[in-house]
Amino acid sequence: MDIRSHNPDDAATYLLAAKSILSGKGFGVDFADQFLPNIAQGPLFPLLLTPVVCLFGFHFLALKLYVIFLSLGACFVVYFFFRTYLKSRKEALVALLLFAGSPVIYSLSHEILSETVFIPFLLLTVWSWDKVLRGKEAKVLTWMALLF
């Protein structure tokens, strides 16, 4: 595994935002002795990075292992999402293998980028709205309120 980032600008922005959140300054970036609020990116991914930044600092191997762990979580969400809508476990497993074996997913899975976290949240949102539209909204709306 290559511990360098192939997209250092985005990774640096996420890491600096996580450090800023940890320091109590809020969601933004310290740049040239000036705090700049971050409006270009959402706060979820930096919030997810804060425990690792708190424990290990900017240790890229620890950060990449954490992102790989989050990517594995995305695989579970993909499997359960498709298990809900496909006829059999075998079809859901094929969907999971197509997802996990995708070159794009593989290349993003070890980068310090928000895309691998975006996918499971997108699928959870679609699944939740499907449940709401089918009239099972009480439990789902509670979970959506807690998650989002």
Give the span between the Cα atoms of 66 and 110, in whole angstroms.
9
CA dihedral 93, 96, 98, 101 (to 10 degrees): -120
Sign of the CA dihedral with 21 first, then 55, 121, and 16 last: positive
| Cα-trace Rg, the chain | 17
C-beta neighbour count of 133 within 10 angstroms: 10
How would you write the pLDDT of the chain (148 residues) with one tens digit per residue?
Answer: 444 555 557 788 888 888 888 888 877 776 667 776 766 677 888 888 999 999 999 888 898 888 888 888 888 888 888 888 888 899 999 988 998 888 887 777 778 888 877 887 887 787 777 777 777 665 666 666 566 5
Contact 136, 115 (CB under 8 A): no
Question: Mind giving me the DSSP string for 25-86?
Answer: S-SEEEETTEEEE--SS-SHHHHHHHHHHHHHSS-HHHHHHHHHHHHHHHHHHHHHHHHHHS
pTM for this prediction? 0.70
